[in-house]
């Protein structure tokens, strides 16, 4: 699909310099917008770093309800129906754009899938508002589908706006969460950097015993039939452990969870082979704080948790962007002293 939103005149060096100058007129990253916000993983990360949310949007009414209950901001609806000029000015754009077109579970049609074109809604907002930085999140498979042509198209569209861009696949296991969840984090800045400061040290994984509820509701127990079938076909070396059954019916277990999913996690992941994860446990596996209010049904909360971004992953990307901004501002501060 042709990117109808990009303009050739933004490729000129003079325009890029002019845009950078305008974006760097204010210090730091103080405000952010939260596109495809879900229940607020980006919000939690950005606000913990001192930033203020000035706009959020999501098409899902239940996600909007949860977001409002926790942050006091009612997200607007379908971003495709919102004019770019109506989005408030901001320093950082955050977006976990729909991953279904790029995931293993989907058919991986990429931009052939309509949802894949929602990426260009991000481009549309960036082009008009030109925030100082952005951070995007998607599934690991985004980097390899269509022999790399899809990710190259995404990076080209972002760079055409004057941004310096980098990406890295990060795993939630390396950021303290007992969940094997690999996600590509794409960052961009109008401030130049020689090498983006991605984290190099791994965080110690929180044990499952700190995640699992001590007295889970009996409604999460599987039937005797499922329990006996699972336990007759698998013996685990881990307790507590999360048992994972793949599409072929093969069962494995680990001292951590495999990646949560919006729809299937409730059925294919079992704690010690006897019960399903509770909504609270799924939120913990994504790095959401204990203070996060659950205001929707169990089924909706499971879906929301499966769609959420792991908070420590996006926070790591934000810290890198803050370092880039600080490095850019330091010479100017010395000159003005």
The answer to whether 135 and 317 are in contact (CB under 8 A) is: yes
pLDDT given for residue 329 in this prediction: 77
Sign of CA dihedral 69, 71, 74, 75: negative
Per-residue confidence (pLDDT) for residue 100, from 0 to 100:
58
Cα separation, 316 vs 184, whole angstroms: 12
In angstroms, the CA 145 to CA 173 distance is 24
**For position 333, what pLDDT does the model report?**
55
Q: What is the pLDDT at residue 16? A: 38
Sheet holding 242-245, edge to edge: 251-254, 242-245, 269-271, 275-276
pTM: 0.86
**Bridge pairing between strands 269-271 and 242-245:** antiparallel
Chain centroid to CA 51: how far?
A: 17
Q: Are 285 and 179 in contact (CB under 8 A)?
A: yes
pLDDT of residue 91: 98
| Cβ contact 133:15 at 8 Å | no
Work out whether the CA dihedral 216, 218, 220, 222 comes out positive or negative: positive
pLDDT digit of tens for each residue in the chain (337 aa)?
A: 344 444 433 333 333 334 444 344 457 899 999 999 999 999 999 999 999 999 999 999 999 999 999 999 999 999 999 999 999 999 999 999 886 555 454 454 545 554 457 888 999 999 999 999 999 999 998 998 888 888 999 999 999 999 999 999 999 999 999 999 999 999 999 999 999 999 988 999 999 999 999 999 999 999 999 999 988 999 999 999 999 988 888 899 999 999 998 876 667 899 999 999 999 999 999 999 999 999 999 999 999 999 999 999 999 999 999 999 999 876 655 555 5
For the sheet with 164-171, list strands across it: 52-56, 31-35, 92-95, 133-139, 182-189, 164-171
pLDDT for position 264: 64
Q: What's the token pair of residue 200?
A: 């190099």
Is the separation of the CB atoms in 165 and 159 below 8 Å? yes
Q: Please name the residue ranges forming H helices in the chain.
A: 13-23, 41-48, 61-71, 119-129, 149-159, 224-233, 265-268, 279-285, 298-307, 311-336
Distances (CA, A) of 62 to 21, 53, 295: 40, 20, 9
pLDDT of residue 13: 33
296 a catalytic residue: no
| Catalytic residue chosen out of the listed positions 37, 53, 94, 99 | 99
> What residue ranges define each of the domains in the chain, with the CATH number in brackets?
8-202+310-336 (3.40.50.150), 208-306 (3.90.120)
Helix axis angle, 41-48 to 311-336, nearest 10°: 40
For residue 112, what pLDDT is reported? Answer: 58
């Amino acid at each position: 699909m042709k990117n109808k939103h990009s303009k050739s005149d933004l490729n000129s060096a003079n325009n890029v310099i002019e845009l950078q100058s305008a974006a760097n007129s204010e210090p730091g990253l103080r405000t952010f917008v939260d596109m495809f916000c879900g229940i607020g993983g980006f919000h939690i990360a950005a606000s913990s770093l001192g930033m203020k949310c000035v706009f959020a949007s999501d098409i899902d009414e239940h996600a909007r309800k949860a977001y409002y209950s926790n942050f006091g901001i009612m997200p607007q609806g379908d971003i495709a129906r919102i004019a770019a000029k109506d989005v408030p000015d901001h320093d950082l754009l955050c977006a976990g754009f729909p991953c279904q077109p790029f995931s293993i579970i989907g058919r991986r049609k990429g931009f052939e899938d309509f949802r894949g074109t929602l990426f260009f809604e991000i481009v549309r907002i960036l082009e008009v508002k030109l925030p100082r930085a952005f951070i995007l999140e998607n599934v690991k498979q985004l980097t390899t589908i269509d022999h790399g042509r899809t990710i190259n198209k995404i990076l080209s569209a972002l760079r055409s706006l004057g941004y310096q861009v980098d990406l890295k696949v990060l795993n939630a296991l390396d950021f303290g969460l007992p969940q094997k969840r690999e996600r590509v984090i794409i960052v961009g800045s109008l401030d130049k950097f020689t090498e983006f400061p991605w984290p190099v040290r791994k965080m110690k994984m929180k044990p499952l015993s700190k995640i699992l509820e001590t007295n889970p509701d009996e409604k999460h127990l599987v039937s005797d039939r499922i329990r006996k079938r699972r336990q007759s076909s698998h013996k685990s070396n881990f307790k507590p452990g999360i048992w994972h059954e793949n599409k072929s019916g093969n069962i494995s277990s680990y001292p951590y969870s495999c990646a949560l999913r919006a729809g299937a996690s409730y059925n294919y992941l079992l704690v010690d082979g006897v019960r399903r994860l509770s909504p609270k446990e799924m939120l913990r596996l994504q790095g959401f704080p204990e203070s996060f209010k659950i205001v929707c049904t169990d089924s909706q909360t499971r879906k929301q948790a499966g769609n959420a971004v792991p908070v420590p992953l996006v926070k790591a990307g934000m810290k890198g962007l803050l370092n880039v901004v600080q490095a850019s501002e330091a010479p100017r501060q010395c000159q003005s002293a």
